[in-house]
Amino acid sequence: MANYELDPLPYDYDALEPHVSEQVLRWHHDTHHQGYVDGWNTAEETLAANRDAGTTDGSAGAMRNVTHNGSGHILHDLFWNCMGPDGGDEPEGALRDRIEADFGSYDAWKAEFEAAASAAGGWALLVYDSHSEQLRNVVVDKHDQGALWGAHPILALDVWEHSYYHDYGPARGDFVDAFFAVVDWQEPTRRYGEAIALFE
């Protein structure tokens, strides 16, 4: 059975200031993200114990906790790696070309992504849709409601209130603007290349 662990942030807690405060990163990473890691491990332990005992008592709830907490852990890992102190740029190369091909322009993609962020009860994602063979923006509620089967996440923006209320209050749009001031396209570019190698 796998034992999932919380990786450290790929930068210092204060590295994204003034756009994302040190306090928010400490709370969000060390407490909130850790909760999803712990929840995933607990759910896996329940399933393993039930399999050993030959019972399914509580298994349905544990399976739901795997998808909820597992998705929360995976998306948070991506979120942290999509930001950096040297961010704020725009994508280049093959990913930029694909964004322009699938959305018409970078600005058109960004406007649609911001619309996803304004509507989501959880996450705005840029994904590579392997079924349709195109990039797509996705509105995901919680961590796993509205996700698209066969989609490979490229860029993740957490718009749960714990991500921004301390810094921005109810002004989610200001937080989305702040995200674009620190977004680092190295990880999305890597993940896009990975998706293309797997699916095209």
Q: Which amino acids are annotated as binding site for Mn(2+), given as ranges?
A: 28, 76, 158, 162
How far CA 31 is from CA of 10, 142, 175, 179, in Å, comes to 16, 17, 20, 21
Quote the distance between the C-alpha of residue 189 and its chain's center.
15
- On whether the CB atoms of residues 134 and 109 are closer than 8 A, the answer is no
Distance CA 110, CA 107 (A): 5
Rounded to a whole number of angstroms, the CA Rg of the chain reads 18
Binding annotation: 28, 76, 158, 162
Q: Distance (Å, rounded) from C-alpha 189 to C-alpha 179?
A: 17
Token pair 């929360």 is found at: 72
CA distance 154 to 52: 37
